Amino acid sequence: MDLSIFLQLLISGILLGGIYAMSSIGLTLIFGVMKIVNFAHGEFLMLAMYFSFFLHHLFKLDPYVSIIIVAPALFIIGIILYKTIIRYTIGKPILTQIFVTLGISIVIENLALLFFSGDFKAVTLDYLQVPFFLGPFDSIGIGEIIINPGRLIAFITGLLISGAFYLFLKFSYTGKIIRATAQDRTTALLMGINIDRVYMLTFAIGLLLVGIAGCLMIPIFTVHPFVGFEFVLIMFVVVVLGGLGSIVGAVAAGLFIGVVEVFSSFIIGPDSKQAIYFIIFIILLIIRPSGLFGIKGEEELERIEAID
Amino acid sequence: MKQLIKNIRNSSHLPFVCFFLAAAVLPLFVENDFYLDGFILIFIWASFSSAWNIIAGFTGMVSLGHNALFGIGAYSSTILLIRYGISPWFGLLIGGTLAAAVGVLIGVICFRLRSHYFALATLAFGEVIFILAMNFADITGGAEGIALPIEPDIWNMSFQGKLPYVYSGLILLMIVTIVSSKIKQSKLGYFLIAFKENEDAARMLGVNTGRARLTAMAISSFLAAVTGSFYAQYIVFIDPSSVCRIQLSIQAALFAIVGGIGTVFGPIVGAVIFVPITIALRAVLGSTMPGLHLIIYGFILIVVLLYMPQGILGAAKNKLFRISNN
């Protein structure tokens, strides 16, 4: 492989991976704290993309600006869903958690089909249409490298928000409470932490993060009612590879999966690229199920008790 | 004879003996193909849901990859028939065996993980099979699918009219139900329940939970694949999205959960309720409101899981138990 092609693929892969990382953080957070695999996470991404699309379509609002409306909207949806449904699945058998979140995803997906129709919708922004070029660097034999501006914006914003969120978890009081609850629910409870509130906040923040991701993605990807399922499969691979519950792991695994996807669609063809990362996923489960950054033994979950 | 009658009367299986009798007699009086089609689909989806229930309901390991096992069955018998002229009667056994081997392989890889990972791993596995079926177009016909020959020929498991399908479907469902009920009452069934309730305690008592679950997985996979073969023979056209979609696994789960997960007859109750509703809603709203029935099903799934987690049969049993105790 030519060096410039290699670099081109690597950069495209990293940009794509940043987007995957960004959209997976909420999922891994919700799992890490609440021990719930949110199968509806892709549908929330889809909702965010639709919100952003319609704000642009109806009010000519720039998708990047629409974050200030879409992210709080998703946060509120998170609180409502937690209060009405999710709260009652905590500590329940895994079957209940899986199929309640799957039930939510089926409802949202088909509501979208009913109201928004099955058509593919996209936002095209004029100022993103001109790609810019790196190079050429003739001295080291590398030609021009094309960079898609929309992906670059999504990548940079995604990384900044991931970083900010990491610092929030690490240093803020609320962040410390969330981490304490994730580490040891009972002790946190004994220290007077309101677990129910922490779970609500965690779920809502998870949705807020995916809301931001949706706004960053709508200028790049088309949205349709089934887009959530496509992305949630990638998100699952990313969060398990990174170690369920690990934010740093999700970012690293997101970048890795992005690079793998771009290279495998270049080498094998775009049709089988998905098969590649699912096979990586299965091999991973055989070798190191706790993921790259997970704590060993974490895959063997303890049960946590129901609220009340 | 008196004893036999007494046994039947005391048995909790009585409603289901009645169900199978009704299912055997009723189709004889139905002339409309549309309704017969409903019978066949009830039998097929109840069988598939029961097969899923053997692993997910009895052991608590939630499989989201049974669609792939169904697809393996459908593709095996179809490809063997079309390419090599092997009768589907053997094809379904070969497909079933292949699926059982695959099921055991999944089990060996994933059973040491707790259920979250098992669900995700089986989901990934199902997607791999779906993608393979889409992309190996030389063998599977890809997205265009494969049409099966339709000249009636018993050797090719292809019949004239709908009635023979009704009765083969009924026999399939009876076999699946009997297997499921035998497992539940056997030592294996108790091992599985012991594992589901408390894995550590079961191990302490010397239960080989690994082997018990592998056996259950093999049986469940075999039955899922056989159902897939029969479905292909009935529909006479298969493509990846009709026999390998994840929605098939979710549907199997829906029927079992609403009917009563972990019970032998729950999946049948679920199929009897949902298949006719689906057919009716599709006929009435199909073109104007696509997906409306799925919105309703999603709500039902959530409500049942939160407020009636044992499903209809579980709730009914509790009620009967209370009455008999009073």
Minimum mean pLDDT range among A147-156, B264-273, B288-297, B316-325: B316-325
- Inter-chain residue contact A109 with B291, CB threshold 8 Å: yes
pLDDT of residue B290: 73
- Inter-chain residue contact A109 with B60, CB threshold 8 Å: no
The residue ranges of every structural domain in chain A are: 3-127+147-287
- Tell me the mean pLDDT in the region A61-81: 94
pLDDT of A137 higher than 80:
no
Residues of A in contact with B250 (CB under 8 A): 99, 102, 106
Domain assignment present for residue B2? The answer is: no
A220: number of CA atoms within 13 Å, CB side? 21
pLDDT of residue B230: 93
- In chain A, DSSP finds a helix count (H) and a strand count (E) of 11, 2
pLDDT of residue B301: 93
Write the residue in B117, B132, B294 that is nearest to A110 by C-beta: B294
pLDDT of B10 higher than 60:
no
A103, A232 contact by CB (below 8 A):
no
Residues of B in contact with A88 (CB under 8 A): 306
Instruction: Measure the CA–CA gap between A229 and A243, rounded to whole angstroms.
Output: 21
Fold of A3-127+147-287: ABC transporter involved in vitamin B12 uptake, BtuC (1.10.3470)
pLDDT of residue A210: 94
How far apart are the CA of B131 and the nearest CA of chain A, in angstroms? 6
- Extract the tokens encoding B106: 């999944």
- Inter-chain residue contact A271 with B299, CB threshold 8 Å: no
* CA B298 to chain CA mean position, Å: 19
Task: Find the closest chain B residue to A297 by CA distance.
Answer: B113
Give the global pTM. 0.89
pLDDT tier for residue A305 given thresholds of 50, 70 and 90: low
- Inter-chain residue contact A233 with B127, CB threshold 8 Å: yes
- Tell me the mean pLDDT in the region B78-83: 88
pLDDT of B312 higher than 70:
yes
Instruction: Measure the CA–CA gap between A225 and A111, rounded to whole angstroms.
Output: 9
Minimum mean pLDDT range among A27-31, A268-272, B262-266: A268-272
- Residue scoring higher pLDDT (B8 or A32): A32
- Tell me the mean pLDDT in the region A221-227: 91
DSSP per-residue codes, B164-225: HHHHHHHHHHHHHHHHHHHHHHSHHHHHHHHHHH-HHHHHHTT--HHHHHHHHHHHHHHHHH
pLDDT of residue A138: 65
Residues of B in contact with A299 (CB under 8 A): 113-114, 117
DSSP per-residue codes, A202-236: HHHHHHHHHHHHHHHHTTTS-B-TTHHHHHHHHHH
* CA B1 to chain CA mean position, Å: 35
pLDDT of B212 higher than 50:
yes
- Inter-chain residue contact A107 with B134, CB threshold 8 Å: no
Question: Which residue range is the domain that position B66 belongs to?
Answer: 14-325
Domain assignment present for residue B5? The answer is: no
- Residue scoring higher pLDDT (A1 or B221): B221
Write the residue in B64, B109, B309 that is nearest to A285 by C-beta: B109
Q: What is chain B's mean pLDDT, rounded? A: 85
pLDDT tier for residue B293 given thresholds of 50, 70 and 90: confident
pLDDT of residue B323: 62
Length of chain B: 326
- Inter-chain residue contact A281 with B114, CB threshold 8 Å: no
- Tell me the mean pLDDT in the region B178-195: 86
Write the residue in B56, B124, B250 that is nearest to A282 by C-beta: B124
- Tell me the mean pLDDT in the region B159-183: 88
How far apart are the CA of B123 and the nearest CA of chain A, in angstroms? 9
Instruction: Measure the CA–CA gap between B45 and B248, rounded to whole angstroms.
Output: 9
Which of A69-73, A241-245, B61-65 is most confident? Answer: A69-73
Q: Calculate the alpha carbon distances from A301 to A79, A87, A90, A137, B236 in Å.
A: 26, 19, 14, 51, 44
pLDDT of A301 higher than 50:
no
Percent of chain B with pLDDT over 90: 33
- Tell me the mean pLDDT in the region A111-117: 89
Digit-coded pLDDT (tens) for A169-200: 889 999 999 988 888 888 888 888 888 999 99
A138 contacts: CB under 8 Å, gap ≥ 6: none
How far apart are the CA of B91 and the nearest CA of chain A, in angstroms? 27
B271 contacts: CB under 8 Å, gap ≥ 6: B42, B45, B46, B49, B255, B259
Q: Is A48 left (phi over 0), alpha (psi -120 to 50) or beta?
A: alpha
pLDDT of A222 higher than 50:
yes
Minimum mean pLDDT range among A7-16, A144-153, B3-12: B3-12
pLDDT of B142 higher than 50:
yes
pLDDT of residue B231: 93
Residues of B in contact with A104 (CB under 8 A): 298, 302
- Inter-chain residue contact B60 with A104, CB threshold 8 Å: no
Digit-coded pLDDT (tens) for B37-68: 889 999 999 999 999 999 998 988 899 999 99
Task: Find the closest chain A residue to B291 by CA distance.
Answer: A110
pLDDT of A149 higher than 70:
yes
pLDDT of B248 higher than 50:
yes
CATH code, domain with B133:
1.10.3470
3-class state of residue B65 by DSSP? coil
- Tell me the mean pLDDT in the region A50-70: 92
- Inter-chain residue contact B109 with A286, CB threshold 8 Å: yes
Task: Find the closest chain B residue to A104 by CA distance.
Answer: B298
Task: Residue B158: name the closest of B95, B233, B91, B208 by CA.
Answer: B233
Residues of B in contact with A236 (CB under 8 A): 120, 123-124
How many domains does chain B divide into?
Answer: 1
pLDDT of residue A303: 44
**Contacts A–B by Cβ distance under 8 A:** 132
Domain assignment present for residue B8? The answer is: no
Write the residue in A94, A113, A274 that is nearest to B115 by C-beta: A94
- Residue scoring higher pLDDT (A1 or B301): B301
Minimum mean pLDDT range among A43-47, A56-60, B153-157: B153-157
> Which A-chain residues 233-272 have CB contacts (< 8 A) with chain B?
233, 236-237, 240, 244, 271-272
- Inter-chain residue contact A85 with B120, CB threshold 8 Å: no
Write the residue in B113, B119, B291 that is nearest to A299 by C-beta: B113
